[in-house]
A = this chain, B = another copy of it.
Amino acid sequence: MKHERLIYLPLGGAAEIGMNCYVYGWGPADAERLIVVDLGVTFPDMATSPGVDLIMPDIEWLAERADRIEAIFLTHAHEDHVGALGHLWGRLRAPVHARRFTANIAARKMEEQGQDGGNVLEVLPWPEQIEVGPFRVGFLPISHSIPESSALVIDTPAGRLIHTGDFKLDTRPVVGEPFQRSLWEEVASVGVRAMICDSTNVFVPHPGRSESVVGPEIELLVAEATGMVVATTFASNVARLKTLAEAGRASGRSVCLVGRAMRRMVEAAVQTGVLTDFPSTVSPEEAREIPRASLMLLATGSQGERRAASAQLSRGKHLGLQMVEGDTFLFSSKTIPGNEREVGRIVNAFSEMGVDVIDDSSDRYHVSGHANRPDLATMHELVAPKILVPMHGEHRHLREHAKLARERGIAAAIAPNGTMLDLTGDEPKVAGYVDAGRIYLDGTVKFGALDGIVRDRLRLAMNGHVLVTMIIDEDDEPLGEPWCESSGLAETGRSNAPLVDVLEADLAQLVGRADAKTIRDDDALEEALRRRVRQSAMDEIGKKPEVTVVISRLS
């Protein structure tokens, strides 16, 4: 029998922010029993993935080894940790373990994709542990920006692992469990072989601030506002929703949740008992009848998402509600890098309406849900693992986090997606590389990010498109002249004649001079037409379009 080993393999979330998916294994090499931690998504953007609906990790490696998967564990209910569950579960078909609130969200994700939500099993937090194959896994409460976030304590024959999940050190998190140092000390006291640790905020130099500090600031702001107040935050930040709603209530305002994601999250949090004393809310219909100064809306769309409530309000009426001069709009959130333009569009639209916008440039109305650099150092000290593996972060975050650990004398390894580490020895060792990548959900179809489909879309968008059709008769003679249609291109260029006329004249000339051999050869004729279109367009409008040639032969 082969030597047994403990492996770690990130398939998403390592060398990127979002799309978390990690694999652990124990057993003889290439026959390890496996567990999966998180199945998250990341979001497409117009610049690199136009038309795509959702981006998920490529789990081909896992799917081929589905018989070796003991279980799937979910650390918390953020989209970048559970969003792909419903889409990918069918290829893994292992039981899913999560705490109550997370399980509620996860089961809904399963059912939305036609899977049985019954595959999601509720577990109790530490000290409960679930035995799956060679692993015993416990959910250790840790604070984050969504209720019931948990680190995983993974006991293996090679020792204890701690997979932190996303976390911050918050002793007053408003909703959910506070960070309990003593609990962590107890868990770490037996010795931790490796800690696999959140890295997103490693470059933030100051200690993280508690969720509880924003309450008084928000209360002040809302109390001083004269018109309607609209606040946006991440729908899943249930603590913040509570803080915002309480600030509304404290200033005598009725509170209205605008946006499905937000209503769902509050519902799930109340149902599962993690949210209590949430101020009662009014419906948008009721809100319309309430004087503006007595109203506060909590709206989805803090990242400028086009279809979310905030963007809708920035474009005018939404559900009969409308912002006007003198109202206040609060971003109780942080703009995720890359979303600046979308958020800016909303801010400027409100500015044009005369609405006072409190954006994310002050730190007064938002705190991060992730551990900053000093908090990570605290965690390194507290857990004192033999090995640290930075996860969840871009490459620069992983690299910096590894440096931070090494400064304390902890062995560290950078393992981007697809890098399998052997954690059995004193030092982490690279055990191999696995194809890891991104799968695009596009409409109802999934394909690989590198399959060329999106590349073709980007080319169409960059270069525009010309289509050429031509008919060749039974005697291999052109029937009429080539016909062109263009899209995404200027209608006229240098010569001031319509572009398609110029192209058609050039192609007619080419066909007129072509020898019989070329006319008989589809590939040669197609290539000649394509080249002429690109060259003529270059002369005429200074760019070379994408070209599709269709030759119809009557023979």
Interface 0/1 of A244-272, CB less than 8 Å to B? 00000000000000000000000000000
**Complexed CA–CA distance, A471 and B467 (Å):** 16
Known: A203-B361, A338-B341. A442 touches B490 (CB 8 A): yes
Category for how many chain A residues contact B: 35 or more
CA distance A141 to B129 in the complex (A): 72
Q: Is the CB of A453 within 8 A of B490?
A: yes
Query: Which of A109-117, A220-228, A545-553 contacts its partner?
Result: A545-553
Beta-carbon contacts under 8 Å, A484-540 to B: 485, 487-490, 492-494, 538
A481 to chain B, nearest CB (A): 11
Contact check, B48 vs A351: say whether CB atoms are below 8 A apart.
Answer: no
Which of A48, A51, A416 is most buried by chain B, counting CB atoms within 10 A of its CB?
A51
CB distance from A217 to the nearest CB of B (A): 16
- Indicate which residue in B457, B493, B552 contacts A461 across the interface (CB closer than 8 Å): B457
Instruction: Tell me, rounded to whole Å, the shortest Cβ–Cβ distance linking A111 to chain B.
Output: 19
Residue of B nearest to A484 (CB): B550
**B457 & A493 in contact (Cβ 8 Å cutoff):** no
**A548 & B487 in contact (Cβ 8 Å cutoff):** yes
Partner of A443, one of B46, B48, B50, B543: B543
**Cβ contact of A541, chosen from B337, B357, B445, cutoff 8 A:** B445
Q: Which of A38-53 contact B (CB under 8 A)?
A: 45-48, 50-51
Flag whether A172 is at the interface (Cβ < 8 A). no
A460's partner among B348, B454, B460 (CB-CB below 8 A) is B460
Task: Choose among B461, B487, B492, B538 the residue that contacts A51 (Cβ–Cβ < 8 A).
Answer: B461
Cβ–Cβ contact B483 & A552, under 8 A: yes
Q: Knowing A357-B396, A395-B348, A487-B548 touch, does A542 contact B443 (C-beta < 8 A)?
A: yes
Identify the closest chain B residue to A51 (Cβ): B462
Question: A394: nearest residue on chain B (CB-CB)?
Answer: B348
How far is the CB of A13 from the nearest CB of chain B, in Å?
14
User: Chain B: which residue is nearest A480 at the CB level?
Assistant: B552
Q: Find residues 380-406 in chain A having any chain B CB closer than 8 Å to their own CB.
A: 394-396, 398-399
Q: How far is the CA of A395 from the CA of B351 in the complex (A)?
A: 6
- Give Cα A487–Cα B456 distance, bound, in whole angstroms: 7
**Chain B positions within 8 Å of A469 at CB level:** 469, 550, 552
Closest beta carbon of chain B to A73's beta carbon, Å: 28
Contact pick for A50, options B338, B348, B394, B462, CB 8 Å = B462
Q: Which 4 A-B pairs have CB atoms at the shortest separation, nearest pair first? A: A443-B542, A444-B542, A443-B543, A461-B461
Can you pick out 12 interface pairs between chain A and chain B where the beta carbons lie within 8 Å of each other?
A45-B47, A46-B458, A51-B461, A51-B462, A348-B394, A443-B541, A453-B464, A456-B464, A460-B465, A467-B550, A469-B552, A483-B552
